[in-house]
């Protein structure tokens, strides 16, 4: 399958466009069927793509036959195919949840969802930094509209901040791109990685400015410390399926940081080698700290989940700052785990909120649940996974990160912060669990109805991914190690992609 590489971008694009056409656009039922079929197709093709990459190595897809570095290229390596598979799985499970009724809140939920998936997959696959910008904008404009899905004052208020911040971020992205193009004369990531080593003196300083501007932009998407204030409010006010899909959005920023600062500005960048590390290191640690404080202060499950997203972003950024193969491999494993687990918690929070009437998902006394055992069990699993308690994948991921620290200084900072962060999560989760499930009064809300089967299946799929990640832990960590090796090896991540360039 020569064209398989572009399927993760094409399938959502075509299905999204299809759903805007008359026979389907008027009927929510057929839109739902189209969405489920579309995301299922996407899941199958990305699984097949991963299989192909694993067997045959990196796939280079030149759009329109224009060869890199002049044309636009999609690069499907182990890192990007893993993340595309993760996105597709997430899209399928969230769509399963949304078709149970959450998609009726506003118009065009299904097409927008598809376009956002297209943007995310495109950002993971592209090998060209300008196309990274374009796909960023595609996923952002879809996310702006999805954020205000179902309406309401809170959503508009959160959307205002989110949209303005991201528009400023986009401008900075273009400034950074312009500077890098002006100094390097290319936008293909592999080509940039080769050329950046030759820069000297003033040009190098200029390129450094450009690359640090890019770090600000990626940091904004990844919720790095000074730029994370938009996240809790945005995620907590979004509708459940949208918030769950947003769990992968910060990871797009993290992925870009890994891609740009290990491949282009990595060890081989001459004067500009590892320019991001001195910034990433303190900011990552402070992000973990601030996230943990936020976790302790969370008044509801949704805010708690949003703050846990910040903590996981901080941990991933710390891995990027450690800048070694082991750390990158740990980061990839932890990224998959934290995306799935926090998406599951966002969906669970919605079910909890609907069964408790006015108390919603806040940690206060309220009516008993319609399905206390089922929800309690699901809450316990997601708590174990997100805290990082032994049997589940959070534990394995955190152990891998802790083991990846190399020098004494790194160990001294990362170990306590990560472990105290876990303790904060443990405290909040036990407080939340006891209040939500054990201390209730009055009678059941008459309007409350049990969660629908599709919703339960969707949450179960997301939460059970955690034990599966542990059971298949050996294979997955071997895969992430190979992926990390590829990312750190300039020979394969840059020179092999450009056959015409002399070494």
* Residues within the interface to another protein (CB under 8 A): 130, 134, 137, 141, 144-145, 148, 152-153, 156-157, 159-161, 163-164, 167-168, 170-171, 174-175, 177-179, 181-182, 187
Q: Supply φ then ψ for residue 126, to 5 degrees.
A: -70, 145
When the beta carbons of 143 and 355 are compared against another protein, the nearer one is 143
Rounded Cα–Cα distance for residues 245 and 243 (Å): 5
Residue whose CB is less far from another protein, 113 or 429: 113
Query: Least distance (Å) from another protein to the CB of residue 174?
Result: 4
Nearer to another protein, 132 or 424 (CB): 132
CB of 37 to another protein, least distance (A): 29
Closest of 336, 374, 344 to residue 458, by C-alpha: 344
User: Nearer to another protein by C-beta: 172 or 448?
Assistant: 172
Radius of gyration of the chain (CA): 22
Whether 215 and 279 have beta carbons less than 8 Å apart is answered as: yes
The length of the chain in residues reads 503
The least CB distance from residue 258 to another protein, in Å, is 24
Q: How far is the CB of 70 from another protein (least distance, A)?
A: 9
Question: Considering beta carbons, is residue 230 or 495 the nearer one to another protein?
Answer: 230
Backbone φ and ψ for 472, nearest 5 degrees, come out as -95, 20
To another protein, the closest distance from the beta carbon of 200 in angstroms equals 19
Contact 140, 250 (CB under 8 A): no
Burial 75-88 (b: 16+ CB within 10 A, else e): bbbbbbbbbbbbbb
Q: Cα dihedral sign for 431, 437, 438, 442?
A: positive
Look at residues 125, 151, 143 and name the one whose alpha carbon lies nearest to residue 249. 143
**Minimum CB–partner distance for residue 71 and another protein (Å):** 11
What secondary structure letter does DSSP report for 259?
Answer: I
C-beta of 123 vs 349, nearer to another protein: 123
Which is nearer to another protein, 175 or 485 (by Cβ)?
175
**Minimum distance of another protein from residue 466's CB (angstroms):** 37
In order of 82, 190, 461, the CA distances from 240 in angstroms are 25, 38, 16
């Amino acid at each position: 399958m020569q064209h398989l590489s572009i399927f993760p971008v094409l399938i959502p694009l075509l299905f999204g466009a299809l759903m805007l056409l008359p026979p389907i656009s008027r009927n929510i039922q057929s839109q739902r069927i189209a969405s489920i079929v579309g995301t299922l197709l996407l899941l199958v093709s990305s699984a097949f793509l991963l299989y192909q990459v694993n067997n045959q190595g990196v796939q280079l897809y030149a759009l329109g036959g224009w060869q890199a570095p002049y044309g636009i290229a999609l690069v499907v390596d182990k890192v990007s195919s893993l993340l595309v598979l993760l996105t597709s799985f997430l899209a399928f499970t969230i769509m399963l949840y949304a078709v149970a009724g959450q998609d009726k809140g506003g118009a065009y939920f299904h097409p927008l969802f598809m376009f956002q998936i297209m943007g995310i997959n495109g950002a993971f696959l592209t090998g060209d930094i300008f196309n990274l910008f374009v796909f960023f904008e595609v996923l952002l404009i879809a996310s702006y509209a999805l954020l205000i899905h179902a309406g309401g004052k809170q959503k508009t208020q959160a959307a205002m901040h989110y949209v303005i911040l991201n528009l400023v971020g986009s401008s900075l992205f273009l400034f950074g791109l312009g500077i890098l193009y002006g100094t390097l004369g290319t936008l293909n990531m592999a080509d940039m990685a080769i050329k950046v080593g030759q820069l000297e003196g003033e040009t190098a300083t200029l390129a450094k400015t450009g690359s640090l501007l890019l770090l600000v932009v990626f940091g904004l998407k990844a919720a790095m410390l000074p730029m994370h204030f938009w996240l809790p409010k945005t995620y907590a006010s979004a509708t459940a399926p949208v918030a769950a899909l947003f769990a992968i959005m910060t990871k797009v920023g993290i992925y870009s940081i890994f891609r740009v600062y290990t491949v282009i500005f990595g060890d081989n960048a001459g004067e500009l080698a590892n320019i991001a590390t001195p910034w990433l290191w303190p900011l990552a640690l402070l992000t973990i700290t601030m996230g943990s404080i936020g976790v302790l202060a969370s008044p509801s499950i949704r805010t708690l989940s949003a703050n846990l997203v910040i903590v996981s972003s901080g941990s991933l950024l710390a891995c990027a700052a450690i800048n070694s193969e082991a750390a990158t491999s740990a980061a990839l494993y932890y990224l998959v785990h934290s995306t799935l687990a926090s998406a599951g918690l966002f969906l669970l929070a919605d079910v909890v909120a609907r069964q408790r009437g006015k108390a919603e998902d806040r940690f206060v006394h309220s009516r008993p649940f319609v399905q206390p055992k089922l929800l309690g069990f699901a809450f316990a699993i997601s708590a174990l996974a997100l805290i990082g308690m032994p049997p589940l994948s959070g534990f394995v991921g955190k152990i891998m990160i802790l083991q990846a620290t190399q020098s004494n200084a790194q160990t001294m900072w990362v170990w306590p912060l990560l472990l105290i962060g876990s303790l904060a999560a443990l405290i909040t989760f036990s407080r939340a669990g006891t209040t939500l499930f054990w201390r209730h009064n009055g009678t059941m809300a008459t309007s409350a109805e049990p969660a629908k089967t599709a919703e339960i299946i969707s949450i179960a799929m997301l939460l059970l991914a955690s034990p599966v990640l542990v059971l298949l832990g050996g294979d997955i960590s071997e895969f992430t190690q190979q992926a990390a090796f590829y990312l750190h090896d300039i020979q394969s991540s840059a020179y092999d992609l450009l056959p015409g360039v002399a070494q």
